[in-house]
């Protein structure tokens, strides 16, 4: 992933920073668009995964819509150039101000998450004499088979409208004259790698779709959310997700009527692999039981490992250096047995490290027992596949500096 030019750029850049490979991003976006277009599917990019302006610009240029979860994300999408007709606004707790702003911007659709929210949107739209387009976010009670902290489609989760409340929604649509019922929306979780989960979602969506049809509602859109996972363990072998297989599941199992639009809200699958967090080793601490690499980046820059025990591949970037080889050659000279196969020993020895950040929290750890070539102060470390839910979840805890960026155009 990192060629010598990129590495020499890294060496002269202050750390920590996010590195975004915009070439890989564009290849990923093109692959996704091509696969979706084959079936006439519409993809809205979930801004929450990464709203770095260069990323938004690239996503917009490739013709995606925008899936937003706050008023500020809606405004960022419109400012980037996304047509309001391609902007949807989801979120379990939209404030009155956010709803008003989205109404003023004439966005395509609100994904409403409760009966009370329907009533509030109706009142606010009425005051402006506008019609708000609505998709109902329904909790389908389908297990995403992913980490429990990023599962959203089970009845125990706060998201969406439960199925026993659908009758109340139907009544609300009859009474609320400033709402236009557009369709149904689901999002069952994130980092889903078992595609059978999406088949289960389709089957459940078909039942709910049918339920509405039986009550005389013809739905214009079926929105199946996002959630497609990426390979955190092999970012170089699988840098672009298999979008074809993913969309094929929906083409095969999701029943759609003529003229009906199928919408997706992908985040991670589009941006995760293009980003890495680049950091320098501040200190190496060798203990009796453990060795620690203390980096200048921590959970304030990339929170996922601390928050979800998430795995990210960690690499030492220097390659092996002449000084290391020199010292090993002198070792070899003094060890006659090693001279029989000198080349096999020209790599720095592999050592196990707990790779940690500088923050005053024990969970500030990027990886435990990570095997790396022996590492020293000043070496560069890459934490890979950090393009999704990395920079956007950064915090100012410990009054840290804001994380910086470097782009490969
Ligand atoms: N649509 C809705 C309604 C969502 O809530 C989400 C993500 C998406 C779409 C996009 O999902 P994706 O395609 O990226 O899986 N911070 C966590 C992930 C939280 C996901 C929240 N919702 C992480 O770092 O793993």
127-146 residue pLDDT tens = 999 999 999 999 988 877 76
> Do 310 and 230 have their domain in common?
no
Distances (CA, A) of 409 to 22, 118, 360, 380: 5, 44, 36, 21
> Do 385 and 323 have their domain in common?
yes
Question: Which DSSP string corresponds to 62-96?
Answer: TT-EEEESSHHHHHHHHHHT--GGGEEE--TT--H
Give 323's pLDDT tier (boundaries 50, 70, 90).
very low
> Do 251 and 299 have their domain in common?
no
DSSP state of 218: P
Residue 190 Cβ inside 6 Å of ligand 1? The answer reads yes
> Do 187 and 62 have their domain in common?
yes
CA of residue 66 to ligand 1 center, whole Å: 13
Q: Which domain holds residue 294?
A: 274-327+345-408
Which of 90, 227, 277, 386 has most ligand 1 atoms within 8 Å of CB, for mutation?
227
pTM of the model as a whole: 0.92
Distances (CA, A) of 185 to 139, 223, 250, 264: 9, 4, 14, 9
Predicted pLDDT at 148:
67
Distances (CA, A) of 341 to 212, 329, 346: 73, 12, 10
CA of residue 293 to ligand 1 center, whole Å: 31
Helix (H, G, I), strand (E, B) or coil at 110: strand
In a domain, 6, yes or no: no
Strand 65-68, strand 404-408: pairing: unpaired
CB 312 within 8 A of CB 305: yes
Residues 6+ apart with CB under 8 A from 230: 191, 238, 241, 268, 269, 272, 273, 385, 388
CA of residue 143 to ligand 1 center, whole Å: 15
Chain length of the chain:
409
Closest Cα to residue 270, out of 48, 76, 68, 89?
48
Whole-number Å distance between alpha carbons of 187 and 138: 8
Greatest extent of the chain over all pairs of C-alpha atoms, in Å: 90
Whole-number Å distance between alpha carbons of 137 and 159: 8
353 preceded by cis ω (within 30°)? no
Q: Which residue minimizes the CA distance to atom 20 of ligand 1?
A: 190
Tokens, residue 114 = 């409760």
CATH code of the domain covering residue 146: 3.20.20.10
Which of 110, 223, 267 has most ligand 1 atoms within 8 Å of CB, for mutation?
267
Residue 49 Cβ inside 6 Å of ligand 1? The answer reads yes
Domain boundary among 230, 254, 272: 272
Beta bridge partners of 400: none
**Overall number of domains in the chain:** 2
Residue 268 Cβ inside 6 Å of ligand 1? The answer reads yes
CA of residue 178 to ligand 1 center, whole Å: 30
Predicted pLDDT at 163:
86
In a domain, 78, yes or no: yes
In a domain, 148, yes or no: yes
SS (H, E, C) 295-333: ECCCCCCCCHHHHHCCCCCEEECCCCCHHHHHHHHHHHH
CA of residue 88 to ligand 1 center, whole Å: 15
Predicted pLDDT at 287:
84
Residues 6+ apart with CB under 8 A from 371: 350, 351, 352
Residue 266 Cβ inside 6 Å of ligand 1? The answer reads yes
Nearest atom of ligand 1 to the alpha carbon of 137: 3
For 211-268, what is each residue's pLDDT tens digit?
Answer: 999 999 999 999 999 999 999 999 999 999 999 999 999 999 999 999 999 999 999 9
Q: Which range has the worst mean pLDDT, 102-116, 223-237, 345-359?
A: 345-359
Domain boundary among 272, 295, 313: 272
CA of residue 371 to ligand 1 center, whole Å: 30
């Amino acid at each position: 992933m990192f060629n010598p030019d990129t590495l020499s750029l890294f060496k002269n850049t202050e750390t920590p920073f996010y590195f975004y490979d915009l070439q890989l991003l564009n290849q990923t976006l093109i692959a996704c668009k091509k696969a979706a277009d084959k079936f006439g599917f519409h993809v809205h990019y979930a801004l929450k995964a990464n709203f770095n302006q260069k990323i938004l610009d690239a996503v917009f240029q490739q013709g995606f819509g925008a899936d937003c979860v706050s008023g500020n994300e809606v405004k960022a999408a419109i400012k980037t150039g996304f047509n309001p007709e391609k902007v949807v606004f989801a979120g379990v707790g939209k404030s009155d101000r956010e709803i008003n702003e989205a109404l003023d911007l004439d966005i395509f659709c609100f994904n409403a998450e409760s009966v009370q929210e329907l009533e509030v949107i109706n009142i606010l739209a009425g005051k402006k004499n506008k019609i708000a387009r609505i998709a109902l976010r329904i909790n389908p009670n389908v297990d995403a088979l992913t980490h429990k902290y990023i599962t959203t489609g089970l009845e125990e989760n706060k998201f969406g409208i439960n199925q026993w409340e659908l009758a109340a929604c139907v009544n609300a649509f009859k009474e609320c004259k400033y709402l236009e019922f557009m369709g149904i929306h689901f999002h069952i979780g994130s980092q889903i790698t078992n595609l059978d989960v999406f088949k289960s979602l389709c089957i459940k969506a078909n039942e709910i779709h049918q339920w509405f049809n039986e009550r005389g509602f013809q739905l214009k859109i079926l929105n199946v959310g996002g959630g497609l996972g990426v390979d955190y363990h092999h970012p170089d072998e699988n840098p672009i997700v298999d979008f074809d297989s993913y969309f094929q599941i929906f083409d095969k199992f999701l029943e759609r009527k003529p003229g009906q639009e199928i919408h997706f809200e992908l985040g991670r699958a589009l941006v995760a692999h293009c980003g890495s967090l680049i950091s320098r080793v501040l200190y190496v601490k060798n203990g009796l039981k453990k060795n620690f690499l203390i980096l200048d980046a921590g959970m304030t820059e990339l929170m996922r490992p601390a928050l979800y025990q998430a795995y990210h591949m960690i690499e030492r970037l220097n390659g092996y250096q002449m000084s290391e080889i020199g010292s090993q050659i002198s070792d070899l000279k003094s060890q006659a047995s090693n001279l029989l196969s000198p080349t096999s020993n020209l790599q720095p020895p592999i050592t196990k490290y707990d790779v940690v950040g500088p923050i005053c929290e024990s969970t500030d750890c990027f990886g435990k027992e990570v095997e790396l070539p022996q590492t020293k102060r000043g070496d560069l470390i890459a934490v890979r596949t950090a393009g999704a839910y990395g920079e956007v979840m950064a915090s100012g805890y410990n009054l840290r500096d804001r994380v910086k960026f470097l782009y490969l155009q």
